[in-house]
Amino acid sequence: MHPVSELIKNLADQHGRERRNLLPILQGVVEQEKYLSEFSMIEIARELDLPAAEVYGTATFYSFLEYKKMGKYIIRVCKTITCSMKGKNQIMLAIEDMLKISAGETTPDGNFSLLQTNCLGFCHKAPAMLINNEIYTELTPEKVREILSSYLEKKGGLYDN
């Protein structure tokens, strides 16, 4: 069995196969795979006995359910008003400069994707960003470089596969 099919089957066993279990299953696949491939969506549709278009329609509605291939670490920088006022652009520049990618892109080694997102709810500690589910606040370009360095060390270098 394809590993994704197996993951989907396990998630359906765990959450149930009703329509109301769709979101937890989609989230479970994204947690593992970082995104929902067409294959995953068709498999989920089969497992829950739903039209694939319904799964696609639901999945693409939610901004955290990516449907394009994403890096291992998804960086989401808050771009809403307070973060924007408190230096979001400098944070973006620091990340772009360090990873050599622009917003919406993924590093060639597939480790990092850079996205902007709407209000993360840390306006009092702006600017803020998420890396996967970890929150980082009161960012400065220096702080961002330190944080990214720690992730790069985890990976043993920028171009390490």
Partner 1 sequence: MTTNYQLRRVDFIFKNENDWEEVLSKSISRTPQELINELISSELKGRGGAGFPTGLKWKLSSEAVDDIKYVICNADEGEPGTFKDREILSRVPFKVLTAMAVCGHVIGAKEGYIYLRGEYFFLQPELKKAISEFEYFCKEINLDFKIRIFMGSGAYICGEETALFESMEGKRGEPRNKPPYPSSYGYMGKPTVINNVETLAHTFTIFKYGAKRFYDLGVQYSRGSKLFSVSGDTPKPGIYELELGMSLADFVDEFGDGDTKAVQVGGASGFLVPRKRFGETAIGFQGKLTGISLPTGGSMMLFNSSRSMFNVLDNYLEFFREESCGQCTPCRVGCQQLLKGIKAVKRGEKNAHYLDKLLRLTETMQLTAKCGLGQSVANSFSSIVENFREEMIY
Among 62, 100, 104, 159, binds partner 1 (CB under 8 A): 62
Would you count residue 80 as binding partner 1 (CB under 8 A)? yes
The answer to whether 66 touches 34, Cβ cutoff 8 Å, is yes
Q: Is 53 in the site for partner 1 (CB under 8 A)?
A: no
CA distance 125 to 47: 43
Binding to partner 1 (CB under 8 A): which residues in 4-23?
A: 18-23
Residue 51 within binding range of partner 1, rule CB under 8 A: no
126 contributes a contact to partner 1 by CB under 8 A: yes
Cβ-based nearer residue to partner 1, 34 or 79: 79
* Other CB atoms within 10 A of residue 93 CB: 13
Structure-token match 């993924």, residue found: 106
Asked if residues 36 and 65 have their Cβ atoms less than 8 Å apart, the reply is: yes
Any bridge partners for residue 114, and if so which? 75
Tokens of 153: 């060390």
Residue 134 as a binder of partner 1 (CB under 8 A): the answer is yes
Chain contacts with partner 1 (rule: CB under 8 A): 18-24, 26-27, 57-58, 61-65, 79-82, 84-85, 117-126, 130, 133-135
